[in-house]
A = this chain, B = another copy of it.
Amino acid sequence: MAVQTLPYNNLIHIDRRLDIPVFKQVADGFIKLIENKKLKPGVELPSTRQLAQMLKLNRSTTVAAYDQLNIMGWIVTSPRKAVLVAHKLPIITPQSFNENVNKNDSNPFYNQINTVKSDILSRPYHLVINDGYPDARIAPLQILADTYKSLQGKYYKHIGIISEPSIGSTLLRTELASFLTQTRGLDITEDHILTTRGAQGAIFIAAQMIVKPGSKVIVGDLNYRMANKVFEQLGGDLIKVKVDENGIDVDQIEELCRTERPDLIYLIPHHHHPTTVTLSAERRRKLLMLIKEYTIPLIEDDYDYDYHYESSPILPLASSDHDGLVIYIGSISKVLSLTIRSGFLISQPDFIWQAGKYKELMETRGDLLLEESIGHLFQSGEMQKHINKSLKLYKSRRDSISQMLSTRLNGLVHFTIPLGGMAIWSIFDASVSLSKISKRLSSQGIYLNDGSFYNQGNDSLNGVRIGFASMDESETDEFIDAVVGCIDSGKV
C-alpha cells in the first residue's frame, strides 16, 4: 500500500507557545487522525524524514513522535521498515470500573474471594458513645505533631531510618522497655518488643505467628470480638470459656488442657472486654501453672493497663515466671488517641524477630517517623505526665457517669463500677430494648451500639460498653438526658 499523502501540515497543528513538547503535539495529532478514521489501520505513514520536511521540523522530533506512537501501540513498523497504523488499535477510552459491576455479579472470581465479617459505623454522628476510647482532646498531640514535624525535617539528613529493623523504631522500643519495666514489672530490653498498629495490629501479628487452620484457641465467653475474628479468619477453632465476676473460669481451662490440648489461650486478665472484670489472683496463679505444665502459649491483651483506679494495677501475667509462653500486648492508641495507631507486642527475641519479618510482608517498615515521635514523648516524660493527668480525669468521669446511671436510670441499667479501663459494661433491664434506644438516639445524631457488637452467638445480651473516658461533662449529660428521654417516651 502506497504512503497515504494527507496534508499533514494542515491536519497536524503545532503551537510552540504551548507547554506540550512538539513531538507530543505531533503524536497527539496522529492519534486524532486515527481516532476519527482519517487514518485507517494498516495504512502507511510518511517516514520520519518525509514527515520532518512536511511539518518543517527537526527530524529528531518526528522520530520522538513515532517512538511514542509506537510504544503506545498506535503504529507498528513493517518488516521492510515502513511505518503503518497498527491493525489492533490500543483501547483508548478508559473503561469504567462501574460498568463492570454487573458483569462481576456473574464473574466467578468474585464468588471466590476470601470474605471477612466486620462492623463499620456507616453514618456520621455529633456524639459517639464508644467502646472505651481515650479523650484525644487532652492528649499531648500538639507536642507529638511538633516532634513529628521537626523529625520530618531532620530525618533524611541521616540515613539511619533505612537501617531500622522491621521490629520497629529503636528509640521507641528502648523507651518502651524502660517504661514497661517500671509500670508493669516486665524485665525486658528493646529486643523483646515489636511495635505494631495498635493492640489490634499486635493481636493480628501474634495470631499470624501461632494460629493455623484447625488450631484450638481458648477465648473468653464473652470476648473482644475483633480478636475472635482474627482467630476465625486464620481458620482457628474457638473454644469459649465462661467469664464470671472473677474473670475466666480457669478450672474449665484446666479441664480443656487435659481433654482438648489447646494451641493458644487469648485473655484480657486485667480489664476483660467487654465485661471489665479482673482475673482473681488465685486464678492467675493457677493459669500460669497450667500453661507451663501443658506448654500452651497465652496472648495477654492488656490494652488499658495504665488506667486502673482502685489500689494499684495488678502486674500482668507476663511479669511472672511463664517460661516465655506469655505474649504480652499493649496499646499506645488507647492512651493517646484513636488516630494514633500504635501498640506493642512483647515476647522472646526469637519470636519478635519472626513477627518483625511478618510485619515486613504487611508494610515493609512501620511508620518510623511517628514511632520516633512517640519515643520522644516517652523520653521527655510527656507521656507519663499525660497518663497521670488522664488517670485522675477518667476516674472522676467514671464516678460521675456511674452515679448518673444509677440515680437517673433507676435500676434500668445493671452495671458494676469498673476497677479500671475506659468503659462501663452496662446491661439494660429486660423491660427496655437497647436496640430501640440505639435507634432513637441515632435519629438524634447520637451513636450508641445496639448491643449487636457484643452479642456472640445469637442471644441478645441487651448490653453495651459505655465509654466514659472520652466524654466531658456536657457530653455525658447530653447522653444520659437522651437515654432518659427515650425511656420516658415509653417507646423503648
Write the residues of chain A forming the contact surface with B, with a CB cutoff of 8 angstroms: 23-24, 27, 64, 67-68, 70-73, 86, 88, 90-91, 94-98, 100-101, 103-104, 107-110, 112-118, 120-128, 130, 135-137, 141-142, 144-146, 148-149, 152-153, 155-156, 158-163, 165-166, 181, 185-189, 192, 197-198, 200-201, 204, 208-210, 212, 226, 229-230, 233, 278, 281-282, 284-285, 288, 295-297, 310-312, 314-315, 319-325, 337-341, 346-351, 354, 356-358, 360-370, 447
Contact = CB atoms under 8 A, between A and B. Distances in A.
A361 B226 contact: yes
Contact of A113 (B166, B189, B210): B210
B281 A118 contact: no
Contacts of A71: 278, 281, 310-311, 314
Given A116-B361, A124-B163, 5 more contacts: A104-B350, A122-B163, A124-B160, A126-B158, A130-B162
A121 B162 contact: yes
Contact of A350 (B110, B166, B311, B351): B110
Nearest to A162: B128
B188 A97 contact: yes
Nearest to A138: B156
Contacts of A339: 155, 161, 365, 367-369
Given A148-B145, A363-B201, A186 B97 contact: yes
A201 B341 CA distance: 15
Contact of A94 (B187, B314, B363): B187
Contacts of A323: 100, 103-104, 107
Nearest to A164: B121
**Which has the most chain B C-beta neighbours within 10 Å: A325, A346, A360?**
A360
A39 to B, nearest CB: 17
Contact of A142 (B27, B121, B152): B152
A23 B311 CA distance: 9
A146 B149 contact: yes
B230 A95 contact: no
In the complex this chain forms, how many copies of it are found?
2
Contact of A95 (B295, B319, B351, B360): B319
Nearest to A351: B113
Contacts of A209: 113-114
A88 B356 CA distance: 38
A367 B370 CA distance: 10
A116 B325 contact: no
A354 B115 contact: yes
Nearest to A208: B114
A475 to B, nearest CB: 10
A361 B114 contact: no
B363 A341 contact: yes
Contact of A341 (B104, B118, B212, B367): B367
A130 to B, nearest CB: 7
Nearest to A369: B339
A95 B184 CA distance: 11
A450 B210 CA distance: 33
A132 to B, nearest CB: 13
A109 B297 contact: yes
Contacts of A338: 161-162, 365
Nearest to A263: B112
Contacts of A120: 165-166, 356-357, 360
B282 A94 contact: no
A322 B367 contact: no
Contacts of A161: 338-339
A455 to B, nearest CB: 18
A476 to B, nearest CB: 15
Nearest to A475: B159
A348 B73 contact: no
Nearest to A65: B311
Contacts of A365: 338-339, 341
Contacts of A142: 149, 152-153
A229 B364 CA distance: 12
A260 B109 CA distance: 16
A104 B349 CA distance: 11
Contacts of A95: 187, 319-322
Instruction: Give the 7 A-B CB pairs with smallest separation, nearest first.
Output: A73-B281, A68-B311, A118-B357, A197-B363, A145-B149, A100-B324, A116-B357
A186 B98 CA distance: 11
Given A73-B281, A104-B350, A110-B348, A165 B361 contact: no
5 contacts: A109-B295, A116-B360, A117-B357, A162-B338, A204-B361
